[in-house]
Structure 1
Amino acid sequence: MNTAVYLASASPRRKELLAQLGIEFSQFSVDADESQLPNELPHAYVERLARLKACSGVKLGYTDRPVLGSDTVVVIDNESLCKPRDEADFTHTLKRLSGNTHQVLTAIAFATEDKVLSQVISTDVTFKKLSDEEIKAYWQSGEPQDKAGGYGIQGLGGRFVTHIAGSYFSVVGLPLYETEQLLHAFLRG
């Protein structure tokens, strides 16, 4: 596919993943309010953010090709777990994930001036039981601070994962298969 797109994300992980699809793209970041609305369910929340980022790129004048927006949220007990605010928030989050299965929802959206198409991909991730020492050492590594749910499966946090059901790349931040399929559908539609 020789379609060019814009990637409305400053994420180096999304940049690396999109490059794996062989799609020509330019990357920029958007300033979007990522606050969850009162009573907003995780699925609706993450999809709204992906659509907001894609549409924000269009509003900034990126209109000569589709804009890709994406967002990822970790969910346990139907509660969205975003990036940790501080070490105490991180510790609380990891203790909730420890020994349990949670969902990682990644939403992708393509937008132009006249249309938006989006999709949410859900992946189940199971963590081993974590010790307090493992949680503290992981925080001190510096890796969790900018990660949804406080961990990166592609980095040091991957050693906590005992099982995954769904898209590994979605957990990293951009589902490759689904992104390519959604772009095809967007261009056809």
Structure 2
Amino acid sequence: MGYLVEERATRLAAVELSTALPRRWAHTQGVAHRAIEVGQILGQDAGVLVASATLHDIGYAPRLAMTGFHPLDGARFLRDEHRADERLVRLVANHSFALLEAEDRGLREELATEFPLLEEPLLVDALVYCDMTTTPDGDRTTAQDRVAEIRSRYGDDSVVGRFIRRAAPEIFASVERGEGALADQPR
């Protein structure tokens, strides 16, 4: 199929998430909306940002959850069943510092080998910014409040709780860089 354009990404995410996981779908829609707003800082890469924002949590879909680690499950689904663009798949696989959580789950080697980190800092930061400034219900929030909400929802002793505590400094720095890039744009 090649590159998943935004419209196709939206249809695919809706099919996999809207009925089975309506709250996750609300978050996904909010993240995608943020990506449309911040796409201006990326020029030609705005489309891959919107598509990756729309598909970043597709691995939560019950029928796709093979390992239980949504970035890896989603990336494999997009690569294997849809032959999605490599950049898009790598963004989904590594969104919001997933490699740190993969380490806690014993999946770091698999994730890093199959889906190496994308060496496009502005694009990576833009996706982190969109994800980490959107609540589970799709509303805007701050990265600090989002991290606190994740810790509260999962608990500090869970795999996700441990990951988010470790990743928080990186998340905050990434969001700050994204905000800086947005502030530098002409109005």
Q: TM-score range by the shorter chain?
A: under 0.3
- Using the size of structure 1 for normalisation, the TM-score is 0.26
Q: Which has the higher strand share?
A: 1
Query: In proportion to residue count, which structure has more helix?
Result: 2
